[in-house]
């Protein structure tokens, strides 16, 4: 299967809100509420930010939120902070026990 | 606290084999599904394989089917990835990751990650 589609880069100023989209198909995002989002700083392991489309693990700031419409999931970060600058990856269950990542989005905080 | 520690990476020639290990601690390993995820240098994340908590069910991404085998030893709290017939395109940091803590079933997200081990396939 092809990777989920994310914008290569997004940017925003401190305090602003940004949204990262993640587009799949009816075979993955469109069929399951099993979308998760990960934050990765350079040289570090990824960190879970959102799971099951909208749920936030304990310890993750409520500035991070997730949603889904049809075959597209979205991650919104409000009140941008310098430490939010990182790569972000979406991931969806794709059936038959398999998972599919997006290509990743580099977030720059201006 | 949950800890996942990968080992076994290194430089290997194309066509050769390598076995990665992931030592788990801080949770009941035998009730958690486990995944391998890789990241080629400068590239994005790619899901590689999953094994259910009891080892009875395994799934792989298409590019490694027939070459890689995931296994686990619940008595040793250890996850493995046997990689055979390695290719240059398998060069990556390999992470083990715990499936979200849905006891004895699958959640299909990754709530804890190891620090990764680098595999370089080169002649």
Indicate whether A48 pLDDT > 80.
yes
Encoding tokens for residue A63? 């500035």
Indicate whether A37 pLDDT > 90.
yes
> What number is the average pLDDT over the span A5-11?
98
Q: Rounded CA gap, A97 and A90, in Å?
A: 17
CB atoms B44 and A3 under 8 Å = yes
How close are the terminal C-alpha atoms of chain B, in Å? 40
Encoding tokens for residue A105? 């989005």
Report the run of H or E that residue B83 belongs to, with start and end. Answer: strand B78-83
The reported pLDDT for the residue numbered A56 is 97
Residue B115 zone, left/alpha/beta (φ > 0; ψ -120 to 50; rest): alpha
DSSP for A16-29?
Answer: --EEEEEE--TTTT
Of residues A16, A21, A27, the one with CA closest to residue A84 = A16
List the single residue in A45, A57, A87 with the smallest CB-CB distance to B95: A45
> What number is the average pLDDT over the span A65-87?
98
In the 8-state DSSP scheme, what is residue A73? E
Q: Does B100 lie at the interface with A, CB-CB under 8 angstroms?
A: yes
Interface test with A, best of B53, B109, B118 (most A CBs within 10 A): B109
Q: Does B33 lie at the interface with A, CB-CB under 8 angstroms?
A: no
Q: Which residues contact A90 (CB under 8 A, 6 or more apart)?
A: A4, A6, A20, A22, A35, A36, A37, A73, A75, A101, A102
Residues of chain B with pLDDT under 70: none
The residues of A whose Cβ lies within 8 A of any Cβ of B are 1, 3, 32, 34, 36, 38, 40, 45-48, 51-52, 57, 87, 89, 91, 93, 96-104
Q: Does B27 lie at the interface with A, CB-CB under 8 angstroms?
A: no
The neighbour count for residue B17, using CB atoms within 10 Å, is 11
| Positive or negative: CA dihedral B65, B62, A54, A80 | positive
The reported pLDDT for the residue numbered B101 is 76
Q: B21 forms bridges with which residues in the sheet?
A: B7, B80
Of residues B116, B110, B112, B115, the one with CA closest to residue B93 = B116
- Token pair 């997004």 in the structure block, residue: A10
List the single residue in A52, A89, A98 with the smallest CB-CB distance to B44: A89
The reported pLDDT for the residue numbered B9 is 97
């Amino acid at each position: 299967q092809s990777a989920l589609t994310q914008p290569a880069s997004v940017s925003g100023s401190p305090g602003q809100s940004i949204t990262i989209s993640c587009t799949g198909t009816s075979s993955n995002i469109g069929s399951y509420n099993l979308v998760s989002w990960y934050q990765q700083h350079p040289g570090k392991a990824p960190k879970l930010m959102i799971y099951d489309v909208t749920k936030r693990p304990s310890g993750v700031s409520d500035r991070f939120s997730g949603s889904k419409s049809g075959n597209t999931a979205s991650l919104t970060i409000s009140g941008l902070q310098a430490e939010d600058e990182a790569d972000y990856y979406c991931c969806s269950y794709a059936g038959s026990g398999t998972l599919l990542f997006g290509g990743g989005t580099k977030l720059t905080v201006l | 606290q949950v800890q996942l520690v990968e080992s076994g990476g290194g430089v290997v020639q194309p066509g050769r084999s390598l076995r990665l290990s992931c030592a788990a601690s801080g949770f009941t390993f035998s009730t958690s599904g486990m995944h391998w995820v890789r990241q080629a240098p400068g590239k994005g994340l790619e899901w590689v394989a999953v094994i259910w908590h009891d080892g009875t069910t395994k799934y792989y991404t298409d590019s490694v089917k027939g070459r890689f085998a995931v296994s686990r030893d619940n008595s040793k709290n250890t996850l493995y990835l046997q990689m055979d017939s390695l290719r240059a395109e398998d060069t990556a940091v390999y992470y083990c990751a715990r499936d979200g803590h849905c006891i004895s079933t699958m959640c299909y997200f990754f709530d804890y990650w190891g620090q990764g081990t680098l595999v370089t396939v080169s002649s």
